[in-house]
């Protein structure tokens, strides 16, 4: 039986979303603008020269960027040997759950709740509930913030007072940062788990525990992050595969995004390098007919939000090298589909996700254009390859 590997390069968009202006993101293009910056010598920290992605470009990455946005990305002009296209999202969000659920066949049927960009960002009754569950007299933050920046700014006060650091962003999310020793990891996880039902009832997509360690000047987030996500409103590709008796493997934060539904085995790691080790291992060991669903988050978390163009380019080039070795391990009949959940253009204003189309690159099913398609077409395509029923409204592409 054939196997399928669905691989999400978190935030690696390619511009051109027809509704980008409605999100304040007109003109954003994560891949295209990184390629332009590299070609112009504006991304020279830790790397140099034009963006080099020979493996992904051979699958059709350059063509996907041009199809999505009309931009011819410098250095990405290979003649494709894979299937390639660009997908457009219909869910009314540019966040992690929206993108992943729709890629898995379930567009979001509701409007997410977003906290306003002001201080305080959270309503008084929610703040009181956080304090009650945390056993504190107050919270720190209570505004939109970058996670690393807010920990650096408020970490010392947090350790001194014991008050949790609570913040949000343009995503539908409540994030709570706390020191693993001074506050306690188990206490933080219990706090977030206890709050999650309240937030989910408000249509807030995720409550995220953000533990950190260290001392002032050297605070650092740990790998013990935990997302408490609202459950998808209908069976996803993972649910369909599991119900059919197929092995399902989730790499990275896929388990959290899908509330651990439809997942047989969860594979975690300290960083994207460790997660790619898990992916390589599954190329060798995943069962016949298995679905492996992976997320590589560091493009987004380390480089997109921080508007680090050089870092993003380095991560893309590293990933491309690993992708080549991974593809060489696949068995005849396997499908590997590379895509993304949204954009996060590091050349764009602000620090948030950007509304973009995303590339769809398929290895193992021949070559040729797929055209413009829908996120849900990804799920339909993977399901058809595995001989499963279609979980959503999409159509199979290959």
- Binding site listing: 10, 300, 305, 341-342, 353
> What is the side-by-side strand order in the sheet with 358-363?
265-267, 248-251, 291-296, 4-9, 335-339, 358-363, 83-88, 368-374
Residue 362, Cβ density class (10 Å: 0-12 exposed, 13-18 middle, ≥19 buried) = buried
Give the angle subtended at the CA of 261 by the CAs of 290 and 17, to the nearest 5°.
Answer: 85
How many angstroms separate the Cα of 298 from the Cα of each of 151, 198, 264, 314? Answer: 18, 29, 24, 11
Q: Of 349, 343, 249, which is closest to residue 300 (Cα–Cα)? A: 343
Distance CA 155, CA 183 (A): 11
Q: Of 276, 225, 217, 216, which is closest to residue 251 (Cα–Cα)? A: 276
Distance CA 283, CA 278 (A): 9
Q: Of 295, 302, 311, 287, which is closest to residue 256 (Cα–Cα)? A: 295
Chain position carrying tokens 């603008």: 33
**Bind-site residues for Mn(2+):** 10, 300, 305, 341-342, 353
Distance CA 359, CA 70 (A): 13
Distance CA 252, CA 270 (A): 9
Q: Of 363, 364, 366, 360, which is closest to residue 394 (Cα–Cα)? A: 360
Distance CA 327, CA 335 (A): 9
């Amino acid at each position: 039986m054939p196997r399928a590997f669905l691989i999400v390069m978190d935030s690696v968009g390619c511009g051109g979303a027809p509704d980008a202006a409605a999100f304040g993101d007109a003109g954003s293009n994560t891949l295209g603008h990184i390629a332009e910056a590299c070609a112009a010598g504006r991304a020279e920290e830790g790397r140099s020269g034009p963006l080099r992605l020979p493996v992904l470009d051979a699958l059709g990455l350059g063509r996907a960027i041009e199809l999505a946005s009309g931009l011819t990305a410098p250095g990405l002009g290979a003649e494709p040997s894979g299937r390639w296209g660009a997908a457009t999202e219909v869910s009314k969000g540019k966040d992690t759950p929206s993108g992943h659920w729709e890629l898995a066949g379930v567009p979001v049927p509701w409007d997410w709740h977003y906290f306003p960009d002001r201080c305080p960002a959270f309503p008084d009754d929610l703040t009181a509930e956080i304090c009650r569950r945390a056993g504190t007299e107050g919270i720190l933050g209570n505004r939109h913030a970058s996670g690393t920046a807010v920990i650096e700014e408020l970490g010392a006060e947090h350790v001194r007072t014991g008050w949790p650091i609570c913040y949000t962003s343009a995503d539908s999310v409540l994030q709570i940062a706390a020191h693993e020793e001074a506050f306690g990891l188990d206490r933080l996880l219990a706090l977030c788990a206890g709050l999650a039902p309240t937030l989910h009832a408000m249509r807030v997509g995720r409550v995220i525990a953000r533990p950190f360690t260290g001392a002032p000047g050297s605070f650092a987030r740990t790998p013990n992050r935990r997302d408490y996500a609202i459950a998808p409103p209908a069976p996803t590709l993972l649910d369909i595969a599991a119900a059919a008796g197929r092995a399902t493997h989730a790499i990275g934060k896929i388990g959290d995004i899908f509330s651990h539904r439809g997942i047989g085995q969860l594979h975690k790691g300290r960083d994207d390098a460790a997660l790619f080790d898990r992916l390589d291992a599954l190329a060798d060991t995943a069962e016949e007919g298995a679905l492996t669903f992976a997320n590589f988050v560091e493009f987004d978390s380390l480089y997109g939000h921080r508007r680090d163009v050089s870092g993003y380019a380095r991560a893309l080039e590293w990933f491309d090298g690993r992708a080549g070795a991974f593809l060489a391990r696949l068995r005849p009949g396997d499908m590997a589909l590379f895509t993304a959940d949204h954009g996060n253009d590091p050349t764009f204003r602000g620090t948030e996700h950007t509304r973009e189309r995303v590339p769809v690159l398929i290895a193992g099913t021949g070559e040729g254009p797929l055209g413009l398609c829908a996120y849900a077409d990804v799920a339909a395509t993977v399901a058809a390859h595995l001989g499963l029923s279609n979980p959503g409204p999409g159509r199979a592409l290959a």
